[in-house]
Amino acid sequence: TISSTAEKVVYLVVFHLSFVMFVWSYWKTIFTSPASPSNEFCLSKADKEQYEKEERPESQQEILRRAAKDLPIYTTTASRAIRYCDRCQLIKPDRCHHCSACDICVLKMDHHCPWVNNCVGFSNYKFFLLFLMYSLLYCLFVAATVLQYFIKFWTNELPDTHAKFHVLFLFFVAAMFFISILSLFSYHCWLVGKNRSTIETFRAPTFRNGPDKNGFSLGCSKNLREVFGDEKKYWLLPIFTSLGDGCNFPTRLVIMDPEQLTASSQNEPAKSSGTNQSFPTRPLSESQNRLLASDSQWVESGPEEENVKSGAKKHIIVSLES
């Protein structure tokens, strides 16, 4: 039993606070509509009619390339084609995927979650993370407060009433949910640190120089800010503070082996500058995202150059942007 009034007050405050934050995050995750691409990614009426008339894939791709010329798109399919959704009839922005369950294209789609009956993507990914975190804390709180009665049950110190079975059930349910949610929450924390979605973990986005699973990673600190925003006081509240618009994402510089660079240079000889670097050291089109406001982030090769020893492969910094 709780011995003092002060302990009862603390217990009730923690219990209700954790429960309120859990329900609030869960509610926002469920009822926040998945963000879809803006109208600028839709084909014009003339292009759409011409696209539907064309039977050759090459001609269709030419129409899509012309339509995507001024769009902030830097990733393609594995076959180097423009990512186009025939169902929604729009050019997919980077990190956008079509959800068969919701039947819409979702910006920065992570996965469709049956537990919340909603797509988890750019518009509600922060809410989903907070939902996991507060679920974890809530289960931990329940298991911790029931633990003393659970121990008494096994030592036969608990009165012989039907309540002891309720205690046993409650402890095991809280413990099992805690373990399962902990693994899921840890996985998504790792994804945030790497700036990847679940889809990108299994299928790396393809840039001009090939697939790169770390193509959108800007460093752990910037990756965290991209999801939770600049204001730390709002990080633990289920209100939308993510940076960007979901259609345009800053990308990183990738370090490639000479063999891969040579193959890429042969495919695009016209873009070679004639020097040791075939591409500029910065993307051709920088996002206005605040994450790229500082020039200090471009110096990413320092620690790796210090680790290069004699006989090791030399690396060359190239841009991902097309």
Catalytic hit among 85, 88, 99, 113: 113
Whether 264 and 310 have beta carbons less than 8 Å apart is answered as no
Residue with tokens 């070679």: 272
Residue with tokens 């009730």: 12
- Report the alpha-carbon distance of residue 49 to residue 170 in Å, rounded: 61
- Report the alpha-carbon distance of residue 201 to residue 320 in Å, rounded: 18
- Report the alpha-carbon distance of residue 184 to residue 147 in Å, rounded: 24
Encode the chain in three state secondary structure: CCCCHHHHHHHHHHHHHHHHHHHHHHHHHHHCCCCCCCHHHECCHHHHHHHHHCCCHHHHHHHHHHHCCCCCCCCECCCCCCCEECCCCEECCCCCEEECCCCEEECCCCEEECCCCEEECCCCHHHHHHHHHHHHHHHHHHHHHHHHHHHHHHCCCCCCCCHHHHHHHHHHHHHHHHHHHHHHHHHHHHHHHHCCCHHHHHCCCEECCEECCCCCCCCHHHHHHHHHCCCHHHCCCCCCCCCCCCCCCCCCCEEECHHHHHHHHHHCHHHCCCCCCCCCCCCCCCCCCHHHCCHHHHCCCHHHHHHCCCCCCCCEEECCCC
Task: Tell me the two tokens of residue 66.
Answer: 């012309």
Is 113 noted as a catalytic residue in this protein? yes
Whether 128 and 177 have beta carbons less than 8 Å apart is answered as no
- Catalytic positions, written as ranges: 113
